[in-house]
């Protein structure tokens, strides 16, 4: 199945999942949008399809889920939305045009949603990690990782648990006055 057909089926499956939650009286207090695919290429070699695929998956996936969970959060006058971006949204990277653009769009979505949803007791924030040891970064060579580590003040790559801790911080009731923020989980990399 090509991804265009798949991307337009996502809203239906998301809505069906949310309808099932409502039917079972399950309340969603926290939404973490962690959509992320990459398809790297230098800009002059990147196909229109590569650009669209990454941007539509990363940005539209975040939009579809957020839009469909908002009625529940607005009704309960409470919610925490945490979007996962990337350091590439702020500082760019080689052959990362589509990925960086998609994550920058998510950071902008955070800003707009925080303003729109604040009056409903809903906070919206972004966690922007640096290079993390995940399935998506398996193609990064050890030599590239070592070079990256040398740029990081703490001299280690970010771990998934570091990102999880940042998400837990934003999800906590004690963070109710924190909204419209982007926190870099990157070991101090600028």
**Catalytically annotated residues:** 99
User: Strands (DSSP E) along 16-131, which ranges?
Assistant: 30-33, 79-84, 122-129
Q: Which residues contact 32 (CB under 8 A, 6 or more apart)?
A: 82, 83, 84, 167, 171
Q: Do residues 137 and 164 touch, judged by C-beta distance below 8 A?
A: no
C-alpha 114: how far from chain center: 15
Angle at which helix 61-76 crosses helix 3-23, to 10 degrees, equals 20
In what order do the strands lie in the sheet containing 122-129?
A: 30-33, 79-84, 122-129, 182-185
Q: Tokens for 100, please give them.
A: 């960086």
Mutual angle of helices 48-55 and 97-117, in 10-degree steps: 30
CB 117 within 8 A of CB 180: no
For the record, the structure tokens of 154 come out as 């703490």
């Amino acid at each position: 199945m090509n991804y265009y057909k798949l991307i337009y089926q996502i809203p239906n499956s998301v809505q069906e999942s949310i309808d099932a939650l409502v039917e079972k009286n399950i309340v969603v207090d926290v939404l973490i949008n962690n959509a992320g695919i990459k398809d790297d290429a230098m800009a002059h070699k990147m196909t229109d399809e590569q650009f669209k695929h990454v941007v539509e998956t990363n940005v539209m996936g975040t939009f579809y889920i957020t839009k469909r969970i908002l009625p529940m959060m607005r009704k309960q006058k409470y919610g925490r939305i945490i979007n996962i971006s990337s350091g590439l949204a702020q500082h760019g990277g080689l052959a990362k045009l589509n990925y960086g653009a998609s994550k920058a769009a998510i950071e902008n979505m955070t800003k707009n949603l925080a303003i729109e949803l604040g009056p409903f007791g809903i906070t919206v924030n972004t966690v922007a990690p640096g290079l993390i040891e995940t399935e998506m970064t398996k193609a990064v060579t050890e030599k590239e990782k070592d070079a990256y580590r040398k740029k990081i003040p703490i001299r280690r790559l970010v771990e998934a648990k570091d990102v999880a801790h940042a998400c837990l911080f934003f999800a906590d009731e004690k963070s109710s006055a924190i909204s419209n923020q982007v926190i870099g989980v990157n070991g101090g990399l600028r």
